[in-house]
Amino acid sequence: MQIACPGCCRPKTAHLCDECQRWQHLYPQEHFRHTALFHFNPAMSTYFQNYKTHGDYRLRRLFECNLKHYFETVTDDCLFVPIPTDAKHAERRGFDPVQGIYGEVVSLTPLLNKKTTAMAQAAKSRAGRLASPQFFEWSAATAVPASKRILLLDDVYTTGRTLFHARACLRQAGYQGRIDSFSVAR
Ligand SMILES: [Zn+2]
């Protein structure tokens, strides 16, 4: 196994990386651990371009075997909460990319809604992403879960901004259990 940051899975560092130290400073009460299966390399970039930008829905199953293999190791009482796309983007694309990737692998519990924002995170610069204000809201129809752990599921980990907004939203709704996160790529 390769050495990676325990906070975000960034390779080649055994300690919390600079970015994670910054998150720790901003969210001192959060103990976070992110797992990513693959590096975001040029092939992965092409994959997400074809899947998300060009909307080839068949590609949602490309990592199904790897994901099933990984999720067999998750045996605790854990809720799988997908990071949502905003409704406008989902409508344009015809599907929700995160639900597409994980929907046939684990049983999903959608707890978050994404507010419709003028600009997608992916279209922003790194600084723009980091500065984004909260863009999630609790999906009001659901009670706060009693489970001991939530695993947030995303497609790509870029800056951590999305996942920390998701955490903050779950905390604000009153969830007190452990929150970890997972993505296909980082
Ligand atoms: Zn890190």
DSSP 24: H
Residue-wise pLDDT for 93-106, tens only, equals: 899 999 999 999 99
Distance of CA 33 from the midpoint of ligand 1 (Å): 9
Residue-wise pLDDT for 125-161, tens only, equals: 888 888 888 889 998 677 888 889 999 999 999 999 9
The CATH number covering residue 103 comes to: 3.40.50
Distance of CA 186 from the midpoint of ligand 1 (Å): 10
In a domain, 3, yes or no: no
174 φψ region: left (φ > 0), alpha (ψ -120 to 50), beta (else): left
Distance of CA 21 from the midpoint of ligand 1 (Å): 7
In a domain, 95, yes or no: yes
In a domain, 129, yes or no: yes
Residue-wise pLDDT for 11-56, tens only, equals: 888 899 999 999 999 999 999 999 999 999 999 999 999 999 999 9
In a domain, 132, yes or no: yes
Is residue 68 within a helix (H) or strand (E), and if so which, with residue range?
Answer: helix 64-71
Average pLDDT over residues 176-185: 96
Number of structural domains, the chain?
A: 1
Task: Please state the pTM of the whole predicted model.
Answer: 0.92
In a domain, 158, yes or no: yes
